[in-house]
Structure 1
């Protein structure tokens, strides 16, 4: 279900922002395939769990990007089978380019690379004349898609949050059985759900979507300004920012996720307040038990 969601989100980003006009057919194909295989044969546990428990997969990949390396390797082994080979008509050079792109994109979904990935893109975009590498651009888009559920309507975001927490708590149960320390958000008895989601939105998702939008506007601006371009008239583009001045105005894409992130964070903050009041009441009652009743 998650993979279908991320593949659809990647498709939306390609089409609705106009990114597909900047990429070649092979690069678009690689982006969609990377979205489909980015969690192939996922174990429902994190890289940290594999490393701490000393799993065979962690041993195979030397504790580094354990799951992401497995997703890629297992996917390409499957594609190599005759009845699954969707790449059989690619030339040798096309195959090498495709494989390199998919590897780069899937490895970039490892959260341990998150902050460095954003830092590198920010630094690049701050240059007077930034030149964005297509592989890095597609990798950032896929990474943002992978963490995008808080950027969608509340009903979708809340459903994904609960599903993810179910998975985390099951991992926490395994960690308890193995005598391992709890990974973040995996202790079902002590995880503050609302607070965790507020932090996830503020420190992870909002900055990621902001950098991704800046990157998209950087690479698509020249295309929109080209004579005869229809890019500035697509539904996902803010015409107020692109019309006039004969195309010299800064190209802007629409950012529907901003409202969703704001709305979802507001709901979580309200929930966090209610949870805090409930905990305070419970603590007060436990510290002041009612007097015993006479029979």
Structure 2
């Protein structure tokens, strides 16, 4: 497989009224706005835990995206992080409530709010559209680097008009992975740390940038061999999982079961190391 940076540019064109065009426009406008407000927040609150932060910029960006989406598609359902009560159970119930919708927009207005608060330039806007429960559009925008990752079901994944492709590592020992530190201090955090301790000696290295959506985009772009994390929500994952699938990678839960919008313990890889990493993560939580 040709490395992403060496691939021939492939034009990526969408119609002005397409779902993807609206997702791209929303992500770009929200990203520009939150970047312009960097360092100016006045209200900082915690949600589920002291690591789970929210600012008025999160809420403002979500309102901006919601208004733009519903202007174009007033009959579509909308699920945004800031419109849901804190905690995993609230996330599950919110998803269940809209699960019957034919078209569902799934949005994280700032994925990586802690980074944003500290002006650490690793945060993103994540927007996905699901049709009857299957993600058909995924857009992740990194305003700090002006990188817009776009995927359409069956049409590939793109960055700056270049087709994305996952990396070629075939062994854990050659792999660069990423993970995160879950906000749930009781169950997910200890499990994730046990997995980190077990996997770290088996791989080249592990990163923890603080934005699950960007980690997923990096797997799709071949910058990471894989990413896993416990207790994430649909808005963290929906857009990025489509990017990876369209770039030739694999997405399951930690146990290797197929991905769906309700999956919270996520495992994504280039496909070549998937089974080995899944087994290593499972072994870590059993021991």
- Bigger radius of gyration, 1 or 2? 1
Q: Whose helix fraction is larger, Structure 1's or Structure 2's?
A: 1
Q: With the length of structure 2 as denominator, give the TM-score of the two structures.
A: 0.32
